[in-house]
Structure 1
């Protein structure tokens, strides 16, 4: 309940001390009998009182936001692969973000029972090391070295695992109102990640002095991969009694006591982008498959054209691209050809690298400034063909610096 007071010109104040001689504010009071038709009352006005905040002038306010616990991931149907006679089990887990053997992982949700000879109790649990790490899978050794008696995919549809959230680009999202005359800035403190098979070290929280300035609601490109670690990795692998993988510090300042920036704490998040980029090497990459294989090469970043049919036979191919290739990256090009007499499907043919290793015809100076340069790949004196296909493979030792490609042109020649 509340009481509303009004004043009318010519009447006395409530305490009877004086006459009301003028309206205190511009504007008019409106009255209505039916809440739809309103009539202006020129000689009467409403009494009101406005309360406002009084901010401390020329004083910096700081709010520190930290990451929440990374939720577990529900895997697909039968995500666990067993091998007969082995206690090593493969966890098929897309984008797990765990690229060193020191990662910890907790597996849960495997229903009670035995799976290809391994008891569920020896699958569920926490593992302090992983091995045979690929972009979308890794292996652990079943607890108690429980070995499988059959090969196959098992686990059901309720398996959950912990994970790291790896990223190369971050966009901190915050709902803010910044009136004129106020200041608002943000700095980001992150934890190092690792490119798959890269040389970086995981789980190192950068020092406060090396946190970077970022713009809210804008993309920020990292110079090396970063992670938001799973809770078990934060606890077991990061120094300190309680470490968090990421923090965002927002500072505000005002020169007036009646105005301040506003941060909406119900609209806070971060968009993370990860590049699927690494440099697989025969002998070190688990289950290495060369990019010359007809399918399934180990490289994770590829672009493959459709098969291109020709009206006339050709014997040469000339491919050109505009590419921004940093010093830690490379773009390899491959081709495969077929003719009308070849009964095989194009997808059943192996790939052939341009210039024996997929490199351009001439070495191109790396571009670390974002500029694009032309790369040419050509081959001649081939057996006559009437169909060809091109594959571009993107590789790099630092996932934060991927090569970028545009303006792909390819022509087949009869020379």
Structure 2
């Protein structure tokens, strides 16, 4: 199931040839096509254009393989991939280079700086409930791996015949990156979440996409600055496709800092931290133990509540915040309920749309708010509450 310790230390996959720039079609570079589709997939599927390919509609009601849409109707699905994070300085160097280097090619669609990473394993469609297991598998796969010493390599148009992306290679003198990818591939395929690539792994960063019909033949590119850097984190991402392109949301992050034999522990995804907090808060508002919320809040947590009502103000520190929760519970005779409509993760911030409902003086009251949560590790550190109608909100909590 796991690679042998010798293979881990050697930093390379014992059964794979050395990585090279392929002459055929490369792996999907922007996660719009299923790069990890099994070997029986067609060549057209495997060579889907990264800049313009669209995912096939999920196939419901028949058996599916890793990387394809789940087969059970009604289950929430997520498109997932595992990537090596780049340090901020490396992303800045790539952004500076690409801002001037490819000017001869019109219409290039630049990848956002936050989306610059090295894809290690593209999992395709998976069930949302599998995310925890996949995150744990990633942690097990990188246990014992320290930071990787890497550098940026040469720019290249991919694929050779009809380029769809502009990529920059990753120089890996010790083959440690290939070894890390092999370890992840073995662990994730053992769990049934990933079908390993038949082509040799090639570490690279997609920096821009070529629009359909655009020719880049003869477009020469200057060398890329080649700063050496240490890569220290591996992240499990969720890819959400939209009209403006893919948006990547981190689900789990594992640090490459352990020693051999030590289990790496994934950092919780901010959205999961807020969801778990709300579960415990719901219990507390219904009459449960408020102290159960302490492990979900930092000691210096701050809650910002606008207006001039009895609950407004800046509640600083865990005791003040718990007292604020208790006041809302008491004022509504434990009838206060929060319904989360949806949330979005931006870095360590979680933006949430929610509705409130309570009974006061025999009247049922309803309101809508936006909450912005700052997450620190596995705890909520700060919240800004923004009511849709502040005057009505003040009247409710007068």
Above 0.5 in TM-score?
Answer: no
Bigger strand fraction: 1
Which has a greater percent of helix?
2
- Give the TM-score normalised by the residue count of structure 2: 0.27
What is the TM-score normalised by the length of structure 1?
Answer: 0.26
Greater C-alpha radius of gyration: 1
